[in-house]
Amino acid sequence: MVKSLPVYADEKLLAHLTNISCVEGGVTSGLIVGQRTPKKDIVVHLTVTPVPEENGRPIKTEVTNGKPLELRCVSEILELDDTWFTFHTENVSRMLPGGMWILGLYFSSPENIFNNEKTLNKVRSIMSFINKSTARNECLFGDPPGNYKLVFHYNSKSKQFACKSIDSSMAFANADWKFQNSQFVWHKVESSYSLNRFEPYEIVDETPKPVIVYLKDKLQKIRKEIDATICTVNGVFRKNTDTLQDIKMLTDQQRKTKEKDDSFKVFMYSLTEPPEDMASKVVVQMTYGEMVFDGIIGSQVFLHENATVDETVLAVKQDILRSLASRLEMHWDSFDLTDENNKVHEPPRRILFKDKRSGLTFSDYIYKNETINDIASNLQLHLGILVPISDLIDCFERPYRKLKPKMDTGEQKANHLGTDKKSDNTNLILYGIMGAAVVLVISLFLHLFT
């Protein structure tokens, strides 16, 4: 049995729980979103897991931003479908910045779920289903700290609440959950990562495999490169144990101007091996095509008040990998039988939005044929957040053009939307367009021979 850390949540979430609870006696459930620190868990959001229209009844919620949240509940916890939570977990994880995780599940009902063995077994079933699903996709879900999840229950009748932790063996233990009336302090950290540093991915199959196979393999190679990078914070190599708060205080003292920039900049560098005599290692191999990743991925994460450099670097790397994996997975999930032969593919681009309750920024992704209105609907469905269209940031990665020369001056020439390449009718080109300036461009050239 694993002992959990104390849990702290913003008091505003208590009012949010009341708002999304089913007063007629039903069950509302969803995901706990937050950040796990070495000393405590910080809960930043509670999002309702969508219930299909044919399986639930509407919840009367308060009006937010001029509109009511469109939510549904079920009559009892046993009616919940495990697959609803795995699908919701995948979609919400794509929206989270690095360093933020799905910490567990919450339930709102008039009866205490911890006093009934049947409901406890249902919670175990849902959690086991989620664990199996996330274990198959480390690029998206990563390796969250701690080996336990939280299960929170809010009694919609008595307004009392209780929390327990559940470990990998599905054993429960008491957890201390507190609501606090003071806001959490967050450090904003920005970074970017250039994909131009990678050599083309050579395709050696005489009979080409599906595009998805090559994309997944390339994603794993990029993951290893990201893990191996070394980083500076505000241009200086720091000790892993240095805190962002100490760096901020030192920077403020050394700053010559009165202008304040509360964000931190993390720059990433790839290590290269020294040249050696490769004559004895040369292998001549026939290739039938290549895949080229080109562009820059922007990153924006938020760390708790006492975050260390080590925590910060891990969050930035997770954010970049999560963003790239999200776009590629959404793209190949949208493939149909005709897509393999198309010359042009366009993965979704990244959109940012700010949650006014927590003050944090989340992400979503938009396809070329979608509109900002579609994104707003998606945010309401998966995060339960009503965001005015004007608050959506669709040019997020544009500022990172200024960061790039500081990271690697040798890559300045690659800062462009794409290169003009001649191709015949057998070429397959995959473009990931992310805004009007710096974009992620993935070009795949498959030369098919008869």
DSSP string computed for 181-239? SSPPPEEEEEEEEESTTSPPEEE--SSPPPHHHHHHHHHHHHHHHHHH-EEEETTB---
Q: Does 201 share its domain with 341? A: yes
Q: Mark which of 180, 211, 242 sits at the end of a domain.
A: 180
156 exposed, middle or buried (CB, 10 Å; 0-12, 13-18, 19+)? Answer: buried
Give the lowest-confidence range in 47-51, 64-68, 301-305: 64-68
Q: Does 223 share its domain with 312? A: yes
Q: Does 191 share its domain with 291? A: yes
Q: Does 157 share its domain with 217? A: no
Q: Does a structural domain hold residue 281?
A: yes
Q: Does 125 share its domain with 225? A: no
Q: Rounded to an integer, what distance in angstroms lies between the CA atom of residue 252 and that of residue 258?
A: 9
Q: Mark which of 142, 159, 180 sits at the end of a domain.
A: 180
Q: Does 59 share its domain with 159? A: yes
Q: What share of the chain is helix, strand, coil (3-state, %, to 5)?
A: 30, 30, 40
| DSSP-derived 3-state class of residue 321 | helix
- Contact criterion met (CB below 8 Å) for 161 and 15: no
Q: Does a structural domain hold residue 1?
A: no
Q: Mark which of 180, 201, 221 sits at the end of a domain.
A: 180
| DSSP-derived 3-state class of residue 43 | strand
DSSP code for 169: T
- Contact criterion met (CB below 8 Å) for 407 and 192: yes
How many other β-carbons are positioned within 10 Å of the β-carbon of residue 286? 7
Q: Could you tell me which residue, 294 or 339, shows the higher pLDDT?
A: 294
Q: Does 264 share its domain with 372? A: yes
Q: Does a structural domain hold residue 2?
A: no
Q: Rounded to an integer, what distance in angstroms lies between the CA atom of residue 92 and that of residue 303?
A: 19
Q: What is the CATH number of the domain that holds 161?
A: 3.40.140.10
Q: Does a structural domain hold residue 282?
A: yes
For 412, the domain range is 186-446
Q: Does 171 share its domain with 218? A: no
Say if residue 111's pLDDT is above 70: yes
Q: Residue 264: what pLDDT?
A: 96
Give the lowest-confidence range in 17-31, 34-48, 266-280: 266-280
Q: Does 202 share its domain with 295? A: yes
Q: Does 206 share its domain with 149? A: no
Q: Does 358 share its domain with 339? A: yes
Q: Could you tell me which residue, 404 or 267, shows the higher pLDDT?
A: 267
Q: Residue 279: what pLDDT?
A: 60
Number of domains, the chain? 2
Residues in a beta bridge with 65? none
Rg (CA), the chain: 24
Q: Rounded to an integer, what distance in angstroms lies between the CA atom of residue 164 and that of residue 65?
A: 33
| Mean pLDDT estimate for the chain | 81
Q: Does 213 share its domain with 349? A: yes
In degrees and rounded to multiples of 5, residue 317 shows phi and psi of -60, -40
Q: Could you tell me which residue, 167 or 57, shows the higher pLDDT?
A: 167
